[in-house]
């Protein structure tokens, strides 16, 4: 064992660069892991710091006891019979101690143009002496006209403590208030959260929802007795709303994927490094060294390499987490988490450093096991021979071909089975195993054949440098396949998810386009609409929906004219005293409203009317919404701007257009696509490091060849260009091969779901092309060091090297 250790240390002393080369990918992989952990810590800390707290003076919490489900009771009846946290309960509890309702209301936060947005703000009612929501800056609201806003809203609107903003009161009139503080909590997806005192909250929402009741003072038994058997009483938990480390699992799977990619790259690098020193290994075997000590030496080197890589990865984890946080801010992903401007720790904790060292060391040893065993098996005579390329024995090539064909054929059979079993639970499993078998067969077992074949196609379209790069790929096919495999896997996953998400986006857009009003005029707070006119040049027809006891009432002729303008057929029998209903109500013979029965004479798409019965002739109730059909080619945004400009005294009247719905769907899909590309891009970055390490080893092996090129007149720039061409070729092999594989399996997965989903067009192709160019750029950056080393080889010294 001591001999193995001495040999391992001697290798580090003699060639530290070569010994540490396999750890480059592990540095990036561990950095991805710790970046995910550090960023998750910052995200969790941000969410937990903004979570509501229960003041220490609160002694008891009262809530409604869970009621058993009664299938014979309708939803309306069940809600009516549910115990209430109302004034009567507060009066009972006030006889024991101070009873404070914990309430949440709704309000409209007006923008800089004085208009309400589509998303209403949540108003958290807070007593001045019972602070529930912690602030990041400023002071808690105390006076009637003061509020605190969530940090995401403050970030998006540029609000600071002391600024004036406008809210819409319960009657819809603008109400100016002062922002005294910024909350530590962020509103999810641009949905504002406000903190206000009871007096202001009543102006904004006279009927807030009571979540629970706090009781200060009194014994628990007395509180329970005053509340009654329908209510439950418990002791408050100050940290009840904190989520712990749940958010860690959002980013962790992608960092584990990056680590797995790093193991692939490290294993290929170990194999190349051990092949480089096979003459040394053979000499040790000739003088009596056994295979066991040689394997242990290699594993000890791998352990040291991994430990050092773990330290480097730990130091890079914080800066990488910071870059990810800034990327999330720029792309808008932060809004989905309600956390913006995260500040992850740039320096890792001691625990994370130890974790990085242990993980990297273990993975390094795992990656080196097989290459170390194979290196020790080389016979002395075979290893002492000069080998210009990797040519395995014919028996090995034949066995590889057999297994490769078997795996590839199995992948094809599983893909056909997935399509045949579409819509069942077995289909996605068959797709998954088919993809695994295809990668194993085509690019792992048959990789030394497949990768040079793809590289040969690129070699035909370039000049001399490209041809020489293709020759190098064919000279070392096993190494080229090992380098291309991680990048190919990462590229295939990116392509797969982008194509599937793009197909889902098209499907969602198709559903959102189906039978929807061109425009809908409503009040953001469900208030009655004023007497407004929407008769503008771009309007083809419109109809007012009046609030009724059960559904909505309309003028039958206006409704039929509007349906015709929307391209929907209407029942001629729809007149006053009749009703039309959504499709899922088609079996109902009549609709009851205000004690009268209305005969059902037809159906309309629920997405057009809001899934409520439409009753002809009932127009005495308040106006609930106006449905508008626009003329062909009319601009919905122009219609909205024109209508809202005509309603300066009604800031809460908003116009929802079909285009807005599509844009919102596209936005969510776009954010999902960006998130997947960023997180899967970690694996791509790790895979690209394999190109740099492979080229470093290649340059070391070909010193004579490169020196001969220099002696024959090739310039330094020519040598650099040749190495760069190899990097680009390997990157293109991984990107193109993975792209084709990912596209094919995305199509198979779509067919296996049984859902009609078309393949996306340029919207997905463009990100893939941009991603491919980014990979090529990263490959060129990774090849910069090896290319500089190649250009510095002096002809005389290189030709004299062994």
The per-residue pLDDT for 315 is: 92
Asked whether the whole model's pTM tops 0.85, one would answer no
Give the count of alpha carbons within 13 A of 430, CB side only. 23
Pick from 245, 241, 305: nearest CA to 273: 305
User: Dihedral sign, CA of 88, 90, 95, 96?
Assistant: positive
Residue 664 has pLDDT above 70, yes or no: yes
Model confidence pLDDT, tens digit, residues 428-465? 888 888 888 888 888 888 888 888 888 777 766 667 77
pLDDT confidence of residue 262: 86
Residues 6+ apart with CB under 8 A from 8: 297, 298, 300, 301, 304
Tokens describing residue 489: 């896997």
Predicted local distance difference test score (pLDDT) of residue 387: 47
Q: How much is the pLDDT for 242?
A: 61
Is pLDDT of 98 > 60? yes
Radius of gyration of the chain (CA): 34
Residue 649 pLDDT exceeds 70: yes
How many of the other CB atoms lie within 10 Å of CB of 642?
15
Query: Of all helices (H) and strands (E), which one includes residue 180?
Result: strand 174-183
Q: Is the pLDDT of residue 254 over 70?
A: yes
| 705 vs 763, higher pLDDT | 705
pLDDT at 725 over 70: yes
CA 789/CA 681 separation, integer angstroms: 28
Share of the chain above pLDDT 70, in %: 86
Please state the rounded mean pLDDT for residues 115-137.
91
User: Does residue 2 carry a pLDDT above 60?
Assistant: no
Mean pLDDT over 554-569 rounds to 88
Distance CA 730, CA 726 (A): 6
Nearest Cα to Cα of residue 528 among 626, 421, 612: 626
- For residues 253-282, average pLDDT: 80
Instruction: Indicate if the pLDDT at residue 579 is higher than 60.
Output: yes
Q: How confident is the model at residue 396 (pLDDT cuts 50, 70, 90)?
A: low
Separation CA 557–CA 560 (nearest Å): 5
Give residue 566's pLDDT: 86
Q: How far is 334 from 341, CA to CA, in rounded Å? A: 8
Cα dist from 13 to 8, 167, 693, 725, whole Å: 9, 71, 20, 33
CA–CA dist 448, 482 (Å, integer): 9
What confidence score (pLDDT) does residue 550 get?
86
Question: What sign for the dihedral angle of Cα 101, 102, 105, 110?
Answer: positive
Q: What is the pLDDT of residues 344-385, one digit of tens each?
A: 888 888 999 999 999 999 999 998 888 888 877 776 665 555
Residue 798 binned pLDDT confidence (cut-offs 50, 70, 90): low
Report the alpha-carbon distance of residue 498 to residue 739 in Å, rounded.
Answer: 11
Among 157, 172, 234, residue whose Cα is nearest residue 203:
172
Highest mean pLDDT among 265-274, 313-322, 763-772: 313-322
Task: Tell me the pLDDT band of 164, cut-offs 50, 70 and 90.
Answer: very high
Q: How many CB atoms lie within 10 A of CB 474?
A: 18
Is pLDDT larger for residue 666 or for residue 577? Answer: 577
Is pLDDT at 36 greater than 80 in this prediction?
A: yes
Distance CA 67, CA 51 (A): 28
Cβ–Cβ < 8 Å for 512, 657:
no
Give the tens place of pLDDT for each residue, 57-75.
Answer: 999 999 988 766 555 544 4
Token pair, residue 176, equals 């100016």
Task: Considering only residues 461 and 777, tell me which one the structure prediction assigns the higher pLDDT.
Answer: 777
- Predicted confidence (pLDDT) at residue 419 exceeds the cutoff of 60: yes
């Amino acid at each position: 064992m001591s001999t193995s250790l001495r040999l391992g240390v001697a290798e580090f002393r003699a060639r530290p660069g070569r010994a540490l080369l396999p750890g480059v990918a592990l540095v990036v992989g561990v950095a991805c892991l710790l970046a995910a952990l550090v960023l998750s810590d910052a995200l969790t800390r941000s969410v937990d710091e903004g979570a509501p707290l229960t003041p220490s003076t609160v002694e008891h919490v009262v809530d409604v006891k869970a009621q058993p489900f009664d299938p014979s009771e309708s939803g309306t009846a069940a809600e009516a019979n549910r115990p209430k946290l109302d004034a009567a309960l507060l009066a009972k509890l006030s006889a024991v101690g101070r009873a404070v309702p914990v309430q949440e209301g709704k309000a409209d936060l007006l923008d800089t143009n004085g208009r309400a947005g589509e998303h209403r703000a949540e108003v958290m009612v807070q007593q001045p002496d019972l602070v529930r929501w912690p602030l990041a800056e400023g002071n808690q609201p105390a006076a009637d006209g003061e509020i605190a806003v969530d940090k995401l809203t403050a970030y998006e609107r540029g609000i600071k403590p002391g600024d004036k903003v406008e809210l819409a009161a319960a009657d819809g009139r603008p109400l100016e208030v002062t922002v005294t503080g910024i909350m530590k909590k962020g509103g999810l997806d641009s949905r504002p959260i406000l903190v206000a005192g009871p007096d202001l909250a009543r102006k904004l929402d006279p009927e807030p929802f009571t979540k629970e009741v706090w009781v200060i003072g009194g014994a628990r038994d007395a509180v329970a007795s005053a509340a009654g058997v329908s209510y439950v009483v418990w002791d408050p938990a100050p940290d009840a709303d904190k989520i712990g480390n749940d958010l860690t699992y959002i980013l962790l799977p992608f960092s584990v994927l990056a680590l797995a990619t790093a193991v692939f790259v490290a294993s290929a690098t170990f194999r190349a490094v051990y092949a480089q020193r096979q003459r040394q290994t053979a000499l040790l075997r000739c003088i009596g060294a056994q295979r066991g000590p040689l394997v242990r030496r290699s594993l000890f080197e791998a352990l040291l390499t991994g430990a050092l890589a773990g330290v480097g990865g730990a130091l890079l984890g914080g800066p990488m987490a910071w870059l990810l946080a800034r990327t999330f801010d720029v792309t808008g992903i932060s809004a989905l988490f309600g956390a913006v401007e995260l500040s992850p720790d740039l320096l890792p904790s001691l625990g994370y450093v130890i974790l990085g060292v242990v993980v990297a060391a273990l993975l390094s040893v795992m990656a080196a096991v097989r290459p170390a065993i194979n290196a020790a098996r080389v016979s002395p005579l075979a290893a002492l021979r000069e080998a210009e390329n990797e040519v395995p024995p014919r028996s090995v090539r034949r066995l590889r071909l057999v297994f490769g064909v078997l795996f590839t054929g199995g992948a094809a059979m599983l893909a056909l089975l997935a399509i045949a079993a579409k819509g069942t639970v077995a289909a996605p499993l068959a797709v998954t195993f088919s993809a695994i078998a295809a990668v194993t067969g085509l690019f792992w077992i048959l990789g030394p054949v497949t990768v040079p074949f793809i590289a040969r196609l690129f070699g035909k379209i370039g000049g001399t440098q490209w041809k020489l790069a293709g020759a190098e790929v064919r000279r070392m096919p096993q190494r080229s396949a090992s380098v291309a495999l991680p990048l190919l896997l990462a590229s295939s996953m990116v392509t797969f998810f982008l194509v599937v998400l793009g197909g889902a986006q098209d499907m969602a857009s198709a559903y959102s386009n189906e039978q929807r009003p061109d425009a809908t005029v409503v009040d953001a707070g469900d208030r009655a609409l004023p007497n407004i006119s929407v008769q503008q040049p771009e309007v083809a027809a419109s109809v007012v929906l009046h609030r009724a006891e059960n559904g909505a009432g309309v003028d039958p002729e206006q409704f039929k004219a509007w349906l015709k303008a929307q391209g929907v057929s209407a029942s001629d029998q729809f007149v006053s005293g009749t009703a039309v209903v959504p499709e899922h109500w088609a079996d109902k013979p009549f609709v009851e409203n205000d004690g009268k029965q209305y005969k059902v004479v037809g159906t309309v798409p629920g997405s057009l009317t809001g899934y409520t019965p439409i009753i002809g002739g009932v127009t005495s109730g308040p106006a609930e919404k106006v449905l508008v059909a626009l003329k062909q080619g009319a601009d919905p945004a122009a219609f909205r701007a024109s209508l809202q400009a005509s309603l300066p005294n009604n800031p809460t009247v908003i116009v929802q257009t079909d285009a807005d719905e599509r844009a919102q769907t596209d936005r969510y899909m776009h954010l999902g696509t960006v998130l997947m590309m960023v997180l899967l891009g970690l694996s791509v970055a790790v895979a690209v490091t394999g190109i740099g390490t492979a080229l470093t080893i290649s340059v070391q092996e070909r010193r004579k060849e490169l020196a001969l090129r220099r002696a024959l007149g090739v310039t330094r720039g020519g040598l650099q260009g040749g190495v760069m061409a190899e990097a680009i070729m390997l990157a293109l092999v991984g990107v193109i091969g993975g792209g084709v594989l990912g596209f094919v399996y995305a199509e198979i997965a779509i067919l296996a779901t049984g859902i009609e989903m078309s393949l996306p067009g340029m919207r997905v192709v463009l990100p893939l092309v941009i991603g491919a160019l980014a990979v090529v750029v990263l490959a060129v950056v990774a090849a910069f060091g090896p290319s500089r080393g190649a250009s510095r080889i002096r002809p005389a010294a290189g030709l004299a090297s062994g």
